[in-house]
Chains A and B, each alone.
Chain A
Amino acid sequence: MLAESAIISASMPKVLLDWFYVAVFAVVGTLMAVLPLAVVWLLAPRQDSPQKTITYESGVLPFGQAWAQFNVRYYLFALIFVVFDVEVIYLYPWAVVFRQLGPVAFVEMLVFLLILLVGLVYAWKKGALEWV
């Protein structure tokens, strides 16, 4: 194990090797996911009929486009999500160093989170978290 990693680090840093694997996984995984689709393309029957490719709408002929406009509520949740997701990215580095740095890091994060909790309370009070 140790000997092996020494050989690799001579040519390539661990970080790059790690992600090299991820890249191979993504590429080969995509190929493997496409493979059954190709098999189907070879094996399965293909009989096109105009009825078959109609959009499914519980057996009734579809009317209008599905690409319609939706409720603004969806946006509000996505918006609050983005802001808090960004907050979470600051928690990750904090989580790693927290136990080395001790009280100072805790207080710094406390201030950070309290400011953002104000935002959550605001959204809550304004009813941005209500669906109806």
Chain B
Amino acid sequence: MHVGLMHYLILSALLFCTGLYGVVTRRNAVAILMGIELMLNAANINLVAFNRYVAPTAVGGQIFALVIITLAACEAAVGLALVLAAYRTLETTQVDEINIMKW
């Protein structure tokens, strides 16, 4: 059997759902960010796979993947800064305890 586009898409769907599970069930904000990183990786696999199989001679998909990696890095930097800020004032990183906005 040959490895085709479908293999990559299914793998990426599984990875995406794993990440989603992490995001939904984790209490620690850092762990939620880890789940998001997995989901972004899944999206990247898709982009590069589409690039390879749909338009192999172009590099558009890879460029998008690079931009997503960039955004993932920015997201991690800003997100973790928020976690630290929350930790400084509330002394917790558990998102269900960060509820001072709840009335």
Chains A and B share a contact (CB less than 8 Å): yes
A83 with B77: in contact, given A72-B84, A75-B84 (CB under 8 Å)?
yes
Complex Cα distance A75/B81, Å? 8
Does B74 reach chain A (CB closer than 8 Å)?
A: yes
Asked if B73 contacts A83 (CB within 8 A), the reply is yes
Q: Which residues of B contact A (CB under 8 A)?
A: 66, 69-70, 73-74, 76-77, 80-81, 84, 88
- Which A residue's beta carbon lies closest to that of B85? A72
Interface size on A, residues (CB 8 A): 9
Residues of chain B within 8 A (CB-CB) of A75 are 80-81, 84
A89 contacts B66, CB within 8 Å?
Answer: yes
Residues of chain A lying within 8 A (CB to CB) of residue B70 = 86, 89
A79 interface hit (Cβ, 8 Å): yes
Q: Is the interface of A mostly helix, strand, loop or mixed?
A: helix
Residues of B within 8 A of A86 (CB): 69-70, 73-74
- Cβ–Cβ < 8 Å partners of B77 in chain A: 79, 82-83
Nearest CB on B from A5, distance (A) = 21
- A83–B76 Cα distance when bound, in Å, is 10
Give the distance in Å from the alpha carbon of A126 to the alpha carbon of B74 in the complex: 19
- Given the complex, which residues of A lie within 8 Å of B81, measured CB to CB? 75, 79
B74 touches which one: A72, A83, A89, A90 (CB < 8 A)? A83
Closest to B72 in A: A86
A130 at the interface (CB under 8 A from B): no
B66 smallest CB distance to A (angstroms):
7
Whole-angstrom CA separation of A75 from B79 in the bound complex = 12
Complex: chain B residue closest to A80, CB-CB: B77
In the complex, A72→B83 CA distance in Å?
12
0 or 1 for each of A71-113: is its CB under 8 Å from B? (1 = yes): 0100100010011011001100000000000000000000000
What residues of chain A lie closer than 8 Å to B80, measured between beta carbons? 75, 79
CA A77 – CA B84 in complex, angstroms? 14
CB <8 Å contact, A82 and B84: no
Across the A-B interface, the 3 shortest Cβ-Cβ residue pairs:
A86-B73, A79-B77, A86-B70
Q: Collect the chain A residues with CB atoms within 8 Å of residue B88's CB.
A: 72
Chain B residues near A90: list those with CB within 8 A: 66
Q: In the complex, what residues of A have CB within 8 A of residue B76's CB?
A: 82
